Amino acid sequence: MARLNQFGGEIAAIAILGLSFLVPFVTDSPFVYSTQNLIAVAVTAAFSVYIMLRMDLLTFAVPAFMAIGGYAAAIAGLKGGIVTASP
């Protein structure tokens, strides 16, 4: 039982990501799709940093690359017309 408590965060993250694949079968709402995508990206990013911290590899390179990638994707989306800045 102690071993299950040790990996509770990992199991919860995998469960959230697994359940997110069921969203398209439940609803057609663009708001729900957008929220689900934000949650999936945030859980994946947090889980990747958490794994690095569990291996005692404390570095700020992973969050820095995530920030640079997010900034570049936002600029590319705005310049390329993929997303709009106004609702």
- Return d(Cα 25, Cα 3) in angstroms, integer: 34
- Return d(Cα 55, Cα 44) in angstroms, integer: 17
Handedness of CA 44, 46, 52, 54 (dihedral sign): negative
Give the model confidence (pLDDT) of 66-76 as tens digits.
889 888 888 88
The predicted structure's pLDDT at residue 68: 92
Give the model confidence (pLDDT) of 11-64 as tens digits.
877 887 788 888 888 888 888 888 888 888 888 888 877 888 888 877 778 778
